[in-house]
Structure 1
Amino acid sequence: MHKFVLPILLALLLCTSCSAPHPRQQPDRVLFVGNSQLYVGNVPAVAAALASANGHAFHSDMIVKGGATLAERVADGSVEQALAGRAYTMLVLQERGGDLMCSFGPDSCIQSRRAIRTLARLARKNGTAVVLLGTYQTLPSASRRLVEAESSAAAAAGIPYIEVSENLQDLRSAEPGLTWFYIDGMHPGKDLVLLDAILLYRHLTGSDPAARDFIADAPIYTSNSGLAASLRAADDPPPQAGTPRAASYTAATIEELLAVINRGEGRQR
């Protein structure tokens, strides 16, 4: 009888090895493309640190420049080259604030929507998922118009949209003591960067991050970053000396933000 046992055990082991999930050999890679609303506070690095603290590590690269538009990234071919050269899991696009609202003239709307569609096609061609990360407006009426314009542009490109501005409206009302803006009053402050990271995490994983302390060990850029529109890792050494080198976040702040975000979603339903 023993001569039949060994083949059966071998077969069972083979079947088990076939069905068991294989661990990933390397973290997922996410490419962020945008402007100072992405790099002030280093949204790509903070998002990666939050994900790592929750067991979903990924590597963040970015192509960012102050005042840049997505149409410029189409024209210079930098995103196309990056997508072709590296196996990215996700492409996160963020447009210059106001372009999709025609703040720079009617052509800015047309160019922006065209660029989003083009970059989405390039990503899909390379097997990369795409998402449009929203920007924000401080006035309630402008915020609503912005969300409508951004969601429409994302839908036209066939990609998901992460809404930021209306979440920020709710959070500024509920938690006015948090740091929503940088010292210039325009760029994202520390807690707005965290909001972006939480919303990205929810999109990538389908769940809320745990409320736990974490540190983003990377350059925390200010509006004067010295960054050019070239591919770089989010945690690469900064081009300018004196750039802060880390930012810490607390479980309490994450919990506060999630409570307001989830209440807002409850009202929408």
Structure 2
Amino acid sequence: MPPRFLLGLSLLLAPFAGTHAQDPAPKEYRVLLVGNSLTYTNNLPALLRAVGASQGTPITTETYVAPGGTLSERWRDGKAADALRTRKFDVVVLQEIGGQVGCLASASRTRTAPCAATVQAHEGFAALAKASGAKTLLFTTWSHDERMQGRIHGGMRKLAKDTGATVFNAAGAIASLHKAQPGSTPYPDGTHPSTQASLMLAVALYRDITGTAPAPKALRVGGPLLPVNAAVSAASPLEAQPALAGDGKVTVVPVALIEPLVKALPDPKDEARDLEGRDPAREPGRRGR
């Protein structure tokens, strides 16, 4: 075949090369979050959506939270449970007050009413999630006290075993960030995460939801970064409350702030040791929630 003809043929086919080898469309994730101010401070759901958008992986969220609220309260009011029964979710994130989970590490305290209510709520939500094909993630909170942190990890292990859920080691993710940046202040008021810590949670949560760590990219956050004292109600989804909608402005988080978070993501093996209590997260100045 003449060389000129081959050249012409290759130029003709070039625009069509690879049309049959395109990457599959990114999966979309629907995530239900249930918790309290540790979830809504700095608007973790909005940060999670922004991380997903930066990766070309659409994430939609529906969030039921209240200041100081317990998971048993959210179970009893029925709003999040109704959402699970009537809408499709891929992942359910359950964030309980640390002390409520820590009681499960003690055989005597397990039989108390608050502890029993916590167990019932976790079992109820996890059962609904399983019935609908959703994965349940148990959000591990933090404590300034090493022994309490160990109890929280122990309670989470028990809940995960009893419900078939997976532990999301939020405390370990923030501890890993602080280890990488010792000068940072993850908990400005001793309890609630800083904006940087909440961003770390969003990056870590994205990894646990999708199974892949995000590539460092700038974020465009469409929701307001809510303060601790935001007027949040558990009567409706966080995303549907007009008072929390903000002014429509977008907060841009540059890639220079995201890259250190991705690099600081803890190794899964280290997380396993952390959860087993052999290397508990040590973080001065924290108070458990």
- Taking the aligned partners of 1:176 and 1:223, their CA distance within structure 2 comes to 24
Deviations 1:201-253 (A, max 9, x none): 1112211111111121102111111111133253x465269789654433233
Deviations 1:77-104 (A, max 9, x none): 112211123222221111123211139x
Residue matched to 2:150: 144
Residue matched to 2:11: none
Q: Secondary structure at the match of 1:29?
A: strand
Residue of 168, 179, 185 corresponding to 1:162 = 168
- Taking the aligned partners of 1:179 and 1:113, their CA distance within structure 2 comes to 32
Residue matched to 1:115: 121
Residue of 175, 195, 198 corresponding to 1:193 = 198
Does structure 2 conserve the Cα–Cα contact (< 8 Å) formed by 1:136 and 1:168? no
Q: Secondary structure at the match of 1:239?
A: helix
Residue matched to 2:89: 88
Aligned positions, number? 247
- Taking the aligned partners of 2:59 and 2:269, their CA distance within structure 1 comes to 27
Counterparts of residues 164-183 of structure 1 (less than 5 Å)? 164-182=170-188
Matched, 1:207 2:215: no
Q: Secondary structure at the match of 1:55?
A: coil
What TM-score, normalized by structure 1, do the two folds share?
Answer: 0.80
Residue matched to 2:258: 254
- Taking the aligned partners of 1:213 and 1:179, their CA distance within structure 2 comes to 22
- Taking the aligned partners of 1:45 and 1:191, their CA distance within structure 2 comes to 14
1:97 maps to amino acid: G
Identity %: 29
Deviations 1:121-170 (A, max 9, x none): 11222332221122112334432332222222122111111112233233
RMSD, aligned α-carbons: 3.0
Unaligned ranges ≥5, structure 2: 1-19, 274-289
- Taking the aligned partners of 1:29 and 1:141, their CA distance within structure 2 comes to 35
What TM-score, normalized by structure 2, do the two folds share?
Answer: 0.75
- Taking the aligned partners of 1:85 and 1:256, their CA distance within structure 2 comes to 39
Residue matched to 1:50: 51
Q: Pick closer, same or farther for the CA change 1:21–1:191 going to 2, 3 Å.
A: closer
Counterparts of residues 30-49 of structure 1 (less than 5 Å)? 30-49=31-50
Deviations 1:9-32 (A, max 9, x none): xxxxxxxx9xx99858x9432111
Unaligned ranges ≥5, structure 1: 1-16
Residue matched to 1:129: 135
Matched, 1:232 2:237: yes
Q: Pick closer, same or farther for the CA change 1:246–1:109 going to 2, 3 Å.
A: farther
Deviations 1:13-53 (A, max 9, x none): xxxx9xx99858x9432111111100011111101110110
- Taking the aligned partners of 2:149 and 2:249, their CA distance within structure 1 comes to 32
Residue matched to 2:222: 217
- Taking the aligned partners of 1:91 and 1:39, their CA distance within structure 2 comes to 15
Q: Pick closer, same or farther for the CA change 1:264–1:174 going to 2, 3 Å.
A: farther
2:232 maps to amino acid: L
2:234 maps to amino acid: A
Deviation at 1:69, TM superposition (A): 1.0
Residue matched to 1:60: 61
- Taking the aligned partners of 1:256 and 1:78, their CA distance within structure 2 comes to 37
Q: Pick closer, same or farther for the CA change 1:152–1:244 going to 2, 3 Å.
A: farther
